[in-house]
Structure 1
Amino acid sequence: MDIAVIAYEGINPFMLSTPLAVFGGAGLSNDHRVFVCAEANRISTSAGITLETPHLLDAAEEADVVILPGWRDASEAVPPAIVEQLRSANARDAVAVGLCLGAFGLAETGLLDGRRATTHWAAAEAFRDRFPAVQIDPTAIFIDSGPVLTSAGVASGLDCCLHLLARLSGVAEANHVARGLVLAPQRGGEQPQLIERPSPASTAEARVADILERLWADPTGHPSLDVLAAEAGMSRRSLSRHIRSRTGGSLGGWLRRARIARAQDSLLRGGKGLEGIAVNCGFPDVQSLRKAFRTELGMTPTQWLARQRVG
């Protein structure tokens, strides 16, 4: 499997290192060939470091995966040569990935038109203005649309790359890499960016965040707002307000997305029988599982799984 990572003048070194750490790290059992290519053999980074890239941009033309890790400025158009490599990847049934502001490059190809996509929350409004045909979701940490993937800002690119590694090499391999990087392997793409907070503004917010994270880790229960409100030490109305502020929706919507993420992981692991998967993920029956997938993803579980195949 050939994975091309596109570098460019002024690239953030951390963004460049993200796919290299996931796909090119030591200890991988699968044989992925990861290489960096750019329009020139020598580029400068945003940190003042000069890098030599052994491959020019046309080396990406035969890659199975093409990744654009970020972009230097949301207000600046991505060069046509880079846009064309992303478009060409899609044309030959390869996977195109835009990490962080790299989503702008994917959007310029037209491949995101009519699809859900995400990017750094701070650039979401600018993205929406420039690409109205794209369904921008500034809350998700990454969105997998099959042939194209986008991620939110900076560190969430690691989650997106780990998810793609699970598609290519299996969940066990992705979890192995995540352990090596000292990362939690279970962050699903639908987990909102805004749940990540360096320090809660208040004790109440911390309690609500802890509740939401616990429900994401195990969404099989059916807690009521009254029970959770008592646990958080606040009124039902106050809890609902905190949840909406932190997730952009209701408790029911949060649980539905958590159950879908769990079902997606089960499907990627090779789980058989939608009835059993539904129950193990907290859905009352398989009809509820299918309805949730259609509501959130616009497709059935079987259709979603088919779109995870590469090439």
Structure 2
Amino acid sequence: MGKRKALLSLKLQSFSDRDKVWEKHKVNGELVATHYADSQFADYSRRIALCGESLDFELVNDQLKLKNTWFCRVRHCPICQWRRSLKWKAKAYAMMPKLVEDFPKARWLFVTLTVKNCAIADLRETITWMHEGFKRMSKLKAFPATGWIKATEVTMGQDGLAHPHFHCLLMVSPSYFSGAYYLSKERWGSMWQQSLRADYAPIIDIRAVQKGDDLAELIPEILKYQTKESDLTADREWLLELTQQLHKTRAIAIGGVLRDYMRELANEPEDLTDEVTGEQGEENVLTFSWHGDEKHYILEY
């Protein structure tokens, strides 16, 4: 019995502090699967419950590298949402050198565009309205961006309403920050309200990316997730309606000159993440299985 307890103590987090995040996402996945059970999305529940049940890692240079597992490919699965964001980040990193080479003097803006909270049942209509507003704004003469990445995020407000908003990374000319080309926050807000055709002044946030900042480190902030895991797990009915409202919508859009550099991001299937494939049973492969009662991945022998 003592030997068995010792073996069971060999948890994934004991081998790799970096990979303990798997356990966080798996625990949240179990909560999401429970929410989906006995609903029109019962198949999602079954798939999420099996997602990442067994992880095969290869030991490479004293670090664990994921070699094989099964992903459920459900859009709101915490594990797959996390893995999807990693894939987008990797693609963005690979695209950056050519972009920086072609536009060495370009400057960048972080822009967050919001609207009033809406009922979760009105989310699809609200997001469509926002996309139409952004399209109109991008055609305004004063709009300074020559290219942009636009990511849609939806969070849950304290009142239970949905809070859809855009996180945008805009590429602008160096001349944007001089003289007549510069747009104040008030001017940005006015343009967004005008383009939305809203009868109120929506809240926005504009921040300049400083010279010398590593753009490859900034893009992942745009591509983190569409909905926080804490919101996915908080309320069953909210999640079910969110799933219905976001079905077949796109989380990421690329515009202007950035299309030529980040086309793969724009065309990425939103409900899929790459499967990790590879032969199993090799001597340097370590397999960790999920033990739901202990909420840990534990090494198999």
TM-score, normalised to structure 2, is: 0.24
- Higher strand content, 1 or 2: 2
Larger Rg: 2
TM-score, normalised to structure 1, is: 0.23
